[in-house]
Chains A and B, each alone.
Chain A
Amino acid sequence: MDALYPRAAISMVEILERLGHRVLCPDALVCCGQPAFNSGYWDQARAVAQPVLESLQDAEAIVIGSGSCGAMLKIFYPQLFDKTPQKEMACGVAARTWEFSSFLVDKLGVTDLGAAFPHRVTFHDGCHGLRELGLKQPPRTLLRSVQGLELLEMKEAETCCGFGGAFSAKFPMISSAMGDVKCHSALETGAEYMVSNDSSCLMHLQGLLSRQGKSLKTMHLAEVLNCVKKN
């Protein structure tokens, strides 16, 4: 999100600050370590995750704009640091970690951010957000209160888009076939935007759509929710 999708991260900061929260972003937060973890290299994953873990010690809440990285901290850190001195720290961080939409809806009870986005939108569930964290409703709750936004569910909303991290490069033929199925499903709805709370899925889907010359655009949920009139 830092390098490729800064708009999504900036939107998150602006939304959280508008809601009166003090946002910090320690320099150590670069990567959660999921690529190495998912490839089976847990030692290397711990080396990436440890500074992240340490820099999050004082945060009251850890808000992540990605279901996938969110699941890494919330579900997998306690496993990754199991039987290490950092176990307790990892469990503490996991308990305070929230995916962005879930933080707004489930923790803060905010459903209407006063945003307006007069477009037809279909929502793509990232698998980690959907199945590891169980977040089907929060992003939809938020989208439904956006003025002018028409939410169109696609047939294969819960089917994986095929990104899967290193999988997308190791098995590009399978990954792309899965992405085609997903894009086809999204295009069928007639939506102008495919929105998700996971920019990694969107990077893959946008890559496919652009290559195929499709006009359907992808956008992070936070950017949609940040479409407000600014003073």
Chain B
Amino acid sequence: MSFASEFRNRARVVASNLRHRQIIRTALGNYETARDRRKATYQDWQGARQLAAETKWEAINHLDHYLLDFSTRLEARGTKVHWASNASQAREIILAIVQEKQARSVIKSKAMTAEEIHLNEALEKAGLKVVESDLGELIVQLRRETPYHIVFPSMHLTREEISALFEKELGSAPTLDPEELTMIARRVLRGKYLTADIGITGGNFAVAETGMVSITENEGNARLTAALPKTMITLLGIEKIIPRLDDLALFLPMLATMGAGQALTGYNTLYGGPRQPGELDGPEEWHVVLLDNHRTELLADGEQRDALHCIRCGACLNVCPIFRNVGGHTYGTTYSGPIGSVITPHLRGLQDWKHLSGASSLCGACTETCPVKIDLHHHLLQNRRNAAQERPDNLEEAAFGVFGWLTRRPAAWKTVRFILQKIQPLTRQFQKKPWHPAKPWTQTRDLPVIPSESFRDWWKNRPKTSKHD
């Protein structure tokens, strides 16, 4: 089955699931309140957006230069920098490190890039035990699911479901207290940090000026993942670059505001290198893997290059009425919601993933909310255009051809309207039938009434006195 049919089938099921709709609406309603409260504390939110967009523009349009600065400065303090062109290279690099260390267990903090390259599967296949240390990620890992949302991986689950999951997988006593559920996970995780051979993290910002990786988190799990195992591996998309350390003063609060409605995320840590002589903690070795995986192709697309500005805050998902109705898993992609619909065709093939650009009403709520001003919904339009140009759908192309022919012939247009108006009693009488030719519309909606007099009729027939032409 094609990705498009799978999407359709899942969308049909989830969109009509009222319980799902309610869970997501409640969660995102709380998010919206918190986000707006935080946004209101900015003196000039639109100015902050503009500055963020310009800063990322500078970073992305000088990526060659900033990436070299970043890697040179990292290496100067003993970090090993690896460059991966694609997902399989990135997996090979990481597997080689893991094998060299003869590692048996890995603790991992949240990293969407790791999801993108299917790292956990590769590690498990190589015989390693991988544990997710972020609570939401641990929950979806225990459910053998992918993250539902790039910031809130388990937002689709209720406390009842999480309690039942922990009971089954971790043997804990049932509880609906969020704090107690967190403590259950913590008790399990604490031991894992101490025994893991390798800690794998993602990163939120790569500071070119100082050669540092900034990691944002709310649970302290990324700090432990980075600090306790002897070897640390950080996987970063090359678009994570920001030029200066000072830029974090803008991006850290912005990410917190748009990601979770926080003033600042609980823990923001800068990593500059492995343990230096005389230091008491930190990993003995630090490997930073820089991942391209089709990002440079997006970079080459002048029209959509700004999609690389993305700081993965998830704000566009949260406001997207499509996401809110079909849910994160329906997309079948690592990155869901508007940003996922924009970049997945670039990352995984336009023809296979163009349906995501079609599955949008182009309402523009995403573009309006995006803190780095990615022109998201217009990129969906461009993906549609590029897909149709590359491989037009014959039926659709012909239909638009006929439609165009009609619009240029007012008499024919009028005839079509006349016929539809006359057969209206029939088309309306049978509109609930499954064989109705307009079924995609009539299954849930009544057909509009076609009045006997059109505007053109009125225009032509109205008394001359009121006519000005």
Contact = CB atoms under 8 A, between A and B. Distances in A.
Nearest to A22: B468
B410 A27 contact: yes
Interface string B417-430: 10010000000000
B21 interface: yes
Interface in B365-385: 365, 367-368, 381, 384-385
Contacts of A10: 455, 458
Among A2, A37, A174: residue with most chain B CB under 10 A:
A174
A145 to B, nearest CB: 25
A174 B469 contact: no
Nearest to A201: B361
A25 B459 contact: yes
Interface string B2-40: 000000100110011000010000000000000000000
A34 B322 CA distance: 21
B187 interface: no
Interface stretch (B59-67, B164-172, B243-251, B444-452): B444-452
A212 to B, nearest CB: 9
Bin the interface of chain B by size.
35 or more
Contacts of A139: none
B397 A3 contact: no
A35 B445 contact: no
Contact of B469 (A3, A24, A30, A162): A24
Interface string A21-63: 0111101101101011111111011011001000000000000
B144 interface: no
B384 A174 contact: no
A208 B444 contact: yes
B397 A175 contact: no
B456 interface: yes
A177 B21 contact: yes
Contact of B456 (A2, A44, A127): A2
B363 interface: yes
B43 interface: no
Interface string B428-462: 00000000000011011111111101111111000
B266 interface: no
Given A181-B321, A207-B447, A168 B458 contact: no
B450 A4 contact: yes
Contacts of A38: 362, 381, 384
B330 to A, nearest CB: 9
Contacts of A47: 404, 408
Interface string B242-261: 00000000000000000000
Contacts of B326: 174, 177
A41 B444 CA distance: 28
B400 A181 contact: no
B387 interface: yes
A132 interface: yes
Contacts of A203: 448
B321 A178 contact: yes
B413 A40 contact: no
Contact of A164 (B325, B360, B420): B360
B72 to A, nearest CB: 41
A217 interface: no
A1 interface: yes
B95 interface: no
Given A23-B468, A51-B408, A167 B15 contact: no
A120 to B, nearest CB: 23
B407 interface: yes
A207 B445 contact: yes
Interface of A: 1-4, 6-7, 9-10, 13, 17, 22-25, 27-28, 30-31, 33, 35-42, 44-45, 47-48, 51, 127-128, 131-132, 158-160, 162-165, 167-179, 181, 203-204, 206-208, 210-211
12 contacts: A31-B403, A39-B384, A40-B384, A40-B386, A127-B362, A163-B361, A170-B440, A172-B443, A207-B445, A207-B448, A211-B445, A211-B446
**The 6 A-B residue pairs with the shortest CB-CB distance in the complex, in nearest-first order:** A164-B361, A207-B445, A40-B388, A160-B363, A40-B384, A127-B363
Interface of B: 8, 11-12, 15-16, 21, 321-322, 324-326, 358-365, 367-368, 381, 384-389, 392, 396-397, 400-401, 403-404, 406-408, 410, 413, 417, 420, 440-441, 443-451, 453-459, 466, 468-469
Given A4-B448, A44-B403, 14 more contacts: A17-B468, A30-B408, A39-B400, A44-B404, A51-B407, A131-B363, A131-B364, A131-B368, A132-B364, A160-B365, A176-B445, A177-B326, A181-B321, A181-B325
